[in-house]
Amino acid sequence: MKRILGLILFVSIVAACKDKEERLKYTIALEFPQEQHVAGQIMNTLDHYGIRSLMVIDSFLVVVTPKDSNYFHVYSTANEELIARFSGKGRGPEEFISVDPILSVGDNPKQLFHLYDFGRKEITKIDFIRSIKEGEFIYEKVPIGVANQGVNSPVETVYHVSEDRIIYRDAFEKAVRFSIFNYHTGEIVNIPHNFPKRTEYSISESSENRVFMATTLAVNQSLNKIATGPYLLGELDFFDVDGKYLSTTLYVSQDTNRKLLSDLFDNPNALRSFNNIVSSDNDFIYVLNSNYLRGVLAPTSGENNFKPIPSPESVGHTNELLVFDWEGKPAMKILFDKFISNCTVDSENRVIYGIYRQPLGDDVIVRYQF
């Protein structure tokens, strides 16, 4: 009897220790030591239709425009002059079908730009510095199947590529937040949606995929750290590059997160919070935080009469850039004068390049000094 009770006690202790390790280790960071309002300057020479993303590489601003005749437009950050155009849509050797820039570069000493073509399931490594200097598009294409050495499942999103690992999201693994493949060991680590466990606010199994499938991510190779955040919640979760959970920073209150989760399914026209890691460097992580009324239809006078909800740009909404260090501590809050749909940060020159869709015009790029 004593032996059985001892065994039960031992199992309970092990289970409790394991459970403790898997729970959310969080700090709440609602205050930022610095807050700055910035006014942007529209860069009139850089107007395109359908800008997908931006990236500062060395002294160049790379503009990705999937709907344009060229995918890549390279500008000088010194004088805004167009230096080069590369590639386009198609099935040729220098063309792409559906592009998804891999923006979570962290520290990038070789100044290489990685692109994921989910039409072809290929990663393309582009050397824009050499391409500009030598006047030709210098790139290397790596099929996902080869990169993953036998991981044959369709890859939905690629977050990070380096010489020793690829961090990605599997299209079929709906219960997995992201996966890490190590080239050297051949090991795949899957980070599930329900890890770490959340006891402060609950997320049902049926809701987890919807909440976490839009996960943004940044990698710091020098610190061997991953920062990731669900698009629909105000939090940053930190892992090491092997997938071990480290800590979490909540930058909205627990009550707000509970309300965001509740309204996500119960109230389609409620306030939404959209959080996107848009840039990172050796010191900081930059999160674009947008809170606005979001829904497809809104009721008018009658019960069955509906009208479209206007876009955030057309009703004067603005948003903000939240800056955290790699320990998850808030460093700065930057408040924009416009609603910026995406942006990139040139931390060396303290410049933000943001995408702004004019109410009756094309996308334009807005330059902010901070």
According to the model, what pLDDT value does residue 276 have? 87
According to the model, what pLDDT value does residue 124 have? 84
19 in any annotated domain: no
Kindly state the tokens that stand for 158. Answer: 């690629």
List, for residues 221-235, the tens digit of each pLDDT value.
889 999 998 887 788
| pLDDT above 70 coverage of the chain, percent | 67
316 in any annotated domain: yes
329 in any annotated domain: yes
Domain CATH number, residue 300:
2.120.10
13 in any annotated domain: no
C-alpha dist (Å) from residue 215 to 126, 237, 280: 24, 11, 15
According to the model, what pLDDT value does residue 145 have? 53
Q: Which residue has the higher pLDDT, 106 or 66?
A: 66
Is 105 a residue whose pLDDT tops 50? no
- Distance, CA of 246 to CA of 237 (rounded, Å): 8
Q: What does the CA dihedral 95, 100, 103, 104 come to, rounded to 10 degrees?
A: -120
- Distance, CA of 235 to CA of 231 (rounded, Å): 9
List, for residues 245-263, the tens digit of each pLDDT value.
999 998 887 777 777 666 6
Confidence of residue 272 (pLDDT cuts 50, 70, 90): low
Q: Which domain holds residue 283?
A: 25-369
Q: Which residue has the higher pLDDT, 234 or 10?
A: 234
According to the model, what pLDDT value does residue 331 have? 97
Under 8 Å CB-to-CB from 7, ≥6 apart: which residues? none
According to the model, what pLDDT value does residue 109 have? 52
Peptide bond into 196 cis (omega under 30): yes
Is 26 a residue whose pLDDT tops 60? yes
188 in any annotated domain: yes
1 in any annotated domain: no
Query: In whole numbers, what is the pLDDT of the chain averaged over residues?
Result: 76
| Count of structural domains, the chain | 1
- Distance, CA of 220 to CA of 236 (rounded, Å): 14
Among 22-31, 111-120, 172-181, 330-339, the range with the most confident prediction by mean pLDDT is 330-339
According to the model, what pLDDT value does residue 8 have? 39
List, for residues 122-140, the tens digit of each pLDDT value.
888 888 888 888 888 888 8
* Residue in this structure with the two tokens 């901070």, named with its chain if needed: 370
According to the model, what pLDDT value does residue 132 have? 83
List, for residues 137-187, the tens digit of each pLDDT value.
888 877 665 455 545 556 778 888 887 888 888 777 777 888 898 877 878
> What is the maximum span of the chain, computed from C-alpha positions, in angstroms?
82
Is 273 a residue whose pLDDT tops 80? no
11 in any annotated domain: no
| pLDDT above 90 coverage of the chain, percent | 19
261 in any annotated domain: yes
List, for residues 280-339, the tens digit of each pLDDT value.
888 999 999 887 554 433 333 334 444 444 555 555 567 899 999 999 999 999 999 988
Write out the H or E segment, with its range, that includes residue 9. Answer: helix 2-22
- Distance, CA of 208 to CA of 200 (rounded, Å): 15
According to the model, what pLDDT value does residue 108 have? 55
